[in-house]
Amino acid sequence: MSLSKDLTIVIPCKNEGLIIKRTLELINLQSNIKGVNVMVADSSTDDGFTQKCILNSFHNNINIKIVKGGFPAEARNNGTKKIKTPYVLFLDADIFIKEFSLLKNMVEQMKKNDYYLSTTKMRTEDGDYNYVYESFDVIQYLTKFSTPFAVGGFMLFNLEVFNSLGGFNPDDKFAEDYHLSSKIKPNKFYVANKIVYTTSRRFKNKGLFYMVKMMIKSWFNRNNDEFFTKEHNYWT
């Protein structure tokens, strides 16, 4: 049975043509993916190169639609407008899903257990900084009983719950993913024992110390809405 009646995928993107091309082509290989809509919220400034990569990707099983982008919070919200499926997957442009049955299995778990939000574990393809992600697995497990902590790389949401929370705060310029996930009831949050892969570019661009520091600060400021409306030099 196709996932098209259950799932819509939303991907914010900016100047990530070659990366998102691969992301889309891997989604296209997922089990039961035929007919699923993928909303790419694009805010690229590279003279159409990213959009050309998106449209030229091999995606005979999925329906790709390009919508208005912006900062991640705004872009993600734009991608959810007018969708009708009960679940929405927020995926970063550089998340590579290599297990072909992962989405089918994740949606089945959402249905079976009435989860509001599900995520996965994450690792880098090149193996760099994986010790950070392994440490995050422990932190995520310890905090999920009180304050769910999901990163925007992979967030599978119940759309009705997402809308009831007002979506991502459009004023958020940093960690909008964690800010929203922290509002989910702990018993409705699920971390699958599955792995998706990403690049190590964020750690290489911003530095390990900065990334770890901001992760810790986000947790301590989880009830401080103003903290998330500042960029904290993340986008510079």
Residue 10 reports pLDDT greater than 70: yes
| Average pLDDT estimate for 117-131 | 92
Residues 6+ apart with CB under 8 A from 163: 80
Mean pLDDT of the chain: 91
Instruction: Render pLDDT for 52-76 as a digit per residue (tens, 0 to 9).
Output: 999 999 999 999 999 999 989 999 9
Tell me the C-alpha distance between 207 and 204, whole Å: 5
Amino acid (one-letter) located at 126: D
Cβ(157)–Cβ(87) below 8 Å: yes
How many Cα atoms occupy the beta-carbon half-sphere of 21 within 13 Å?
14
| Average pLDDT estimate for 117-140 | 89
pLDDT at position 58, please? 94
